[in-house]
Amino acid sequence: MLAVLSPGQGSQKPGFLSGWLGLPGAEARLTWWSALSGVDLIHLGTEAGADDIKDTARTQPLLVAAALLAAEHLPMHDVALVAGHSVGELGAAALAGVLSAESAVTLAGVRGREMAAACALEPTGMSAVLGGDADEVIAAIERHGLYPANRNGAGQVVAAGALDALAKFAAEPPARARVIALQVAGAFHTPYMAPAERALGAVAAGVPVADPARILLSDLDGAAVNHGREMLRRLVRQVTAPVRWDLVLRNLRDLGVTGIIELPPAGTLAGLAKRELKGENAPEIVTLNTPDDLPAARDLIARHGTASTHEPTPLFRVVVAPSAGLFQPAEGLAEGVDLRQGQVIGQVTTRQGPVEVAAHAAGILTEWLAHHDDPVAPGQPVARIGGQQQ
């Protein structure tokens, strides 16, 4: 299985779009998206300096546009799974068919402007915490009145909040951990961004959506999201909610992903994946930064993606656990049986009692991803349903 990942803020580099402008239609596409997002994407991606593209209002639509521009030159119909980090989720949602490219870029423009405005209300910031025991790090962050805004896996957590609290936290770091201040405008993915969440929600309410055409993992909780309207709600909620990229990486492993392509500007998510998804089954990774990397990316898709054929190809959707507990498949329900929409396929035994797990669509029970008495987390895939796509 192959996954395509869309990076978030902080991955941008001066001039990183320069090589893409020579491809057919690229300049016209960026000109159109510039009009929708309210920023000059061509200038920002080719000539602007590091300070210019560090501006949240400019960076966010630039990153979404870059990911979508590069993906247009890949055989995305052979890609089974997409995910995006923070603002990169807008790009991933478009690649999954939930949003149009125009809607994704427009929402990125609104998101960037409103988050920049929210940052100006109070002096806040973010600091990366590298190393240490994860539980101890989270406890220390919360003890200082801060928020764990990003849990990226591979021993990396990002603390966010008031600048004075961040300074005290850096002076008293958790055991065996380093605290590094990040050059960002404010405390993203915390309650400080509530005004931006409200503003984005008002615009998003009028955006048309469709259900995902491929597996789409949300970094709100790592879950595979099955409905377009639910994904849009998560995209808005994510402005103030922590990014749980650690749970996305966990589900990439659980789903058996064997190949990963990171869209431009690539490198950050590939690095996290290399550190977290190690061992014998580590996925093969391609970082797509310039058009020169397209042959390697296409080759990876050819070897790890869905086989191209004139016959109908399977369309797989993932059923996820609604809560934490022990999974119990429905008795007598074997792989290969036909399921109807809404059919109960099992339950999760929680401390509060059993919670039913139902099929969100009709299809074939292709594979159990969790088995009798397996511990599951909220949003963890438990079964795969297959249908037919012409």
User: Which strands form 156-162's sheet, in the order they lie side by side?
Assistant: 147-153, 156-162, 124-131, 177-181
Active site annotation includes 86: yes
- Which of 189, 218, 304, 360 is catalytic? The answer is 189
Active site annotation includes 308: no
Give the closest residue to 27 by CA, choosing from 12, 11, 9, 40.
40
- Which of 6, 34, 86, 127 is catalytic? The answer is 86
Q: Is the peptide bond before 24 cis (omega within 30 degrees of 0)?
A: no
Catalytic residues: 86, 189
